[in-house]
């Protein structure tokens, strides 16, 4: 069986060594005679996994003691609702930035909960971008500022974060752990695991503890951050197996040299792919150069027919998942942490050949 290069946006590629280790332990976890999927979430083996996964995230991101790391379920989409349920009181306003499809879903959900000011809106602009810091006109006393650090669909990414006068809440689903981060700048960070952390099923939340105190008793216990902080993400049964794989992924990241090493590799992979796009008129990038994502590289070909042919020929060459999101079309190469540089090199070679044959 041949493994392909998987450029899918999510669920997405995982390190091969992680898959192999999970496979080796699937039926008989570390000689226990059962799978970690079958064991109590309060038992010793799972407890060790849970604690290491939390600690690895703390180490990689240098999470300060003021913040808790949580494993929840419901995906980033669940956080679109849980954030305002917990942080946006009945007399409050929250500032949101609209940078594209994911930000606008977060806005839609927040509007059902409370008052929302969209203080910058470039979500429909083409080429794609994220808001400029000068555009941000904060609401006096806003409960928080929400932003989407990387728009997975359009391929636009915040290269640096604004100095906001209020806590920043960031959806980092598609670029968490891709670069070092100053967590102290954020009130809350959330990410579904299936892009850059592991398999779908676990959602990581990093929250400044004092913000969790804002919640009112009208919010169901299960949807309060407080509940999960108090019980170390073991209030109810956590998604044990996805957390196990996340633990292996974060262990792998530490072995790669941590986030500064990953940032260097990610920058190099993205730079060579964008250079290949910019080297010809056949390929056209769809985000403004200053806001290009290092994770989701989006581009177009001269026609939709050529784009369809590109995806088909790439698949035949063992490179899959390159079709752009159905809402925007085009091509999207997702090159998360686990995409080896050799995969990017193979894609660039394929792009040159495809242009030579069809350009």
Q: Strands 331-334 and 296-300: what pairing?
A: antiparallel
User: CB of 107 within 8 A of CB of 98?
Assistant: yes
- Is residue 77 a contact point for ligand PLP (CB under 6 A)? yes
Q: Which residue is nearest to ligand PLP (CB)?
A: 75
Q: Tell me, yes or no, if 171 is annotated catalytic.
A: yes
Nearer to ligand PLP, 130 or 276 (CB): 130
Convert residues 89-108 into a mask of x (bound to ligand PLP by CB under 6 A) and - (unbound).
-------------x------
Q: Among the options 171, 175, 252, 323, which is catalytic?
A: 171
d(CA 92, CA 346): 51
Q: Tell me, yes or no, if 105 is annotated catalytic.
A: no
> Of the listed pieces 120-128, 160-168, 170-178, 228-236, which binds ligand PLP according to CB under 6 A?
170-178
Nearer to ligand PLP, 55 or 73 (CB): 73
With CB under 6 A as the contact rule, the residue among 123, 155, 162, 192 that binds ligand PLP is 192
Distance of CA 345 to the CA centre of its chain: 23
User: CB of 292 within 8 A of CB of 285?
Assistant: yes
With CB under 6 A as the contact rule, the residue among 6, 13, 152, 294 that binds ligand PLP is 152
d(CA 201, CA 155): 24
d(CA 87, CA 194): 25
Dihedral sign from CA coordinates of 230, 232, 233, 237: negative
3-62 residues near ligand PLP, rule: CB under 6 A: 10
Nearer to ligand PLP, 194 or 351 (CB): 194
Nearer to ligand PLP, 83 or 301 (CB): 83
Nearer to ligand PLP, 81 or 313 (CB): 81
CA nearest neighbour of 9 among 109, 76, 98, 108? 76
CA dihedral 132, 207, 228, 13 (to 10 degrees): 60
Residue found by looking up tokens 């970690």 in the block: 36
Nearest distance, CB of residue 191 and ligand PLP, angstroms: 8
- Is residue 75 a contact point for ligand PLP (CB under 6 A)? yes
Nearest distance, CB of residue 283 and ligand PLP, angstroms: 23
Q: Tell me, yes or no, if 108 is annotated catalytic.
A: no
User: CB of 200 within 8 A of CB of 241?
Assistant: no
Q: Among the options 195, 252, 269, 323, which is catalytic?
A: 195
**In the chain, what's the furthest Cα-to-Cα distance?**
64
With CB under 6 A as the contact rule, the residue among 171, 186, 189, 297 that binds ligand PLP is 171
Q: Is 185 exposed, middle or buried (0-12, 13-18, 19+ CB in 10 A)?
A: middle
**DSSP 8-class letter at 295:** S
Containing 56, the helix (H) or strand (E) segment is helix 44-61
- Is residue 199 a contact point for ligand PLP (CB under 6 A)? no
Nearest distance, CB of residue 148 and ligand PLP, angstroms: 5
By the criterion CB under 6 A, which residues form the site for ligand PLP?
10, 75-77, 102, 148, 152, 171, 173-174, 192, 195
Active-site positions read: 102, 171, 195
């Amino acid at each position: 069986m041949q493994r392909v290069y998987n450029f899918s946006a999510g669920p997405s590629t995982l390190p091969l060594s992680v898959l192999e280790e999970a496979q080796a332990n699937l039926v008989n976890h570390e000689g226990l005679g059962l799978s970690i999927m079958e064991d109590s979430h309060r038992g010793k083996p799972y407890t060790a996994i849970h604690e290491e996964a939390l600690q690895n995230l703390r180490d990689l991101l240098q999470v300060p003691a003021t913040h808790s790391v949580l494993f929840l379920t419901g995906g980033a989409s669940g956080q679109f609702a849980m954030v305002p349920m917990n942080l946006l009181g009945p007399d409050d306003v929250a500032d949101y930035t609209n940078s594209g499809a994911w930000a606008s879903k977060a806005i839609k959900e927040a509007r059902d909960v409370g008052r929302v000011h969209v203080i910058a809106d470039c979500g429909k602009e083409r080429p794609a971008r994220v808001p400029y810091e000068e555009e941000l006109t904060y609401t006096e006393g806003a409960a928080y500022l929400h932003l989407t650090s990387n728009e997975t669909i359009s391929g636009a990414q915040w290269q640096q974060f604004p100095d906001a006068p209020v806590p920043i809440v960031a959806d980092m689903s598609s670029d968490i752990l891709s670069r070092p981060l100053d967590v102290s700048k954020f009130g809350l960070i959330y990410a579904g695991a299936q892009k850059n952390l592991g398999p779908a099923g676990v959602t990581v939340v990093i929250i400044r503890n004092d913000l969790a105190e804002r919640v009112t008793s009208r919010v169901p216990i299960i949807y309060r951050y407080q509940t999960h902080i108090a019980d170390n993400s073991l209030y109810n049964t956590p998604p044990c197996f996805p957390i196990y794989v996340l633990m292996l992924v974060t262990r792998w990241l530490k072995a790669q040299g941590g986030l500064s090493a990953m940032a260097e590799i990610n920058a190099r992979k993205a730079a060579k792919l964008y250079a290949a796009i910019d080297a010809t008129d056949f390929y056209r990038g769809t985000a403004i150069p200053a806001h290009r994502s290092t994770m989701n590289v989006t581009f177009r070909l001269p026609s939709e027919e050529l784009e369809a042919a590109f995806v088909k020929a790439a698949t035949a060459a063992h490179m899959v998942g390159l079709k752009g999101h159905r809402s925007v079309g085009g091509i999207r190469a997702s090159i998360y942490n686990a995409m080896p540089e050799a995969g990017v090199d193979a894609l660039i070679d394929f792009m040159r050949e495809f242009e030579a044959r069809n350009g």
